Amino acid sequence: MINGIEFTIFKALSHPDLTIVTIYRSPQISVRHLCVALTEILLEISGNER
């Protein structure tokens, strides 16, 4: 959970190219807060690929 937003990632063993990502934000979390959390994750992922 990042900033009150829950991310779940499923990778299918039988289909290695298939990834399912779910995002849950409670009604108390603003859309702006959701965007900040998504930005943090994308920056972390892009930093790990370097």
Between 44 and 3, the higher pLDDT residue = 44
Q: Is residue 25 part of a domain?
A: yes
Question: Position of tokens 């807060």?
Answer: 33
Q: Report pLDDT digits (tens) over 18-48.
A: 988 898 988 898 999 888 888 888 888 777 6
Pick the closest to residue 6 from 20, 27, 26 (CA basis): 26
Question: Position of tokens 């979390």?
Answer: 29
Say if CB 5 and CB 37 are below 8 A apart: yes
Q: What is the pLDDT of residue 14?
A: 93
Q: Is residue 40 part of a domain?
A: yes
Q: Is residue 2 part of a domain?
A: no
Q: Is residue 1 part of a domain?
A: no
Q: Is residue 38 part of a domain?
A: yes
Our count of domains for the chain comes to: 1
Q: Is residue 14 part of a domain?
A: yes
Structural domain containing residue 22: 7-46
Predicted model pTM: 0.56
